[in-house]
Amino acid sequence: MSEGMSSSKLPELLTATPFEGRLLAIALARKAIYDRQPDKGLRQQQMDCCAFEPAKEQKAAFRKETACCKVYARKMFQEVAKANNYWSKKKTP
């Protein structure tokens, strides 16, 4: 878990810069993944499985975990961007 993030209190979504928003979104996504699998040993096994070709019996579980991680990350980036109005800035031609 990241420094400054307790399990009971989440940080505010407002950030000063888009870069800080990106860092916050990454921290929130990591927290969501940590909450989904709090066992460090199992998380490490899943990460090791990512680095190499998973065994046939692990492929379905691996795909499911990978999909969940992608959804968490995408959702966190969207929420931080929405809270900070990053998408509301209209580009002029």
Number of domains in the chain: 1
**Per the domain annotation, does 29 fall within a domain?**
yes
**Per the domain annotation, does 88 fall within a domain?**
no
Spatial CB neighbours of 12, under 8 Å, sequence gap ≥ 6 = none
Tell me the average pLDDT across 49-74: 76
User: What per-residue confidence (pLDDT) applies to 8?
Assistant: 54
User: What per-residue confidence (pLDDT) applies to 92?
Assistant: 54
Predicted TM-score (pTM) of the model is 0.64
* Sequence letter at residue 59: K
Instruction: Answer whether 62's CB lies under 8 Å from 46's CB.
Output: yes
- DSSP per-residue codes, 25-91: HHHHHHHHHHHH---HHHHHHHHHHHHSPPPHHHHHHHHHHHHHHHHHHHHHHHHHHHHTTTT--PP
Query: Exposed e or buried b for every residue in 28-39, given b needs 16+ CB within 10 A?
Result: bbbbbbeeeeee
Q: Taking Cα atoms as reference points, which of 17, 27, 21 lies closest to residue 81? A: 21
Q: Which residue has the higher pLDDT, 16 or 90?
A: 16
**Per the domain annotation, does 3 fall within a domain?**
no
User: What per-residue confidence (pLDDT) applies to 1?
Assistant: 41
Average pLDDT, the chain: 76
**Per the domain annotation, does 59 fall within a domain?**
yes
Domain enclosing residue 27, as ranges: 18-83
**Per the domain annotation, does 46 fall within a domain?**
yes
**Per the domain annotation, does 12 fall within a domain?**
no
**Per the domain annotation, does 9 fall within a domain?**
no
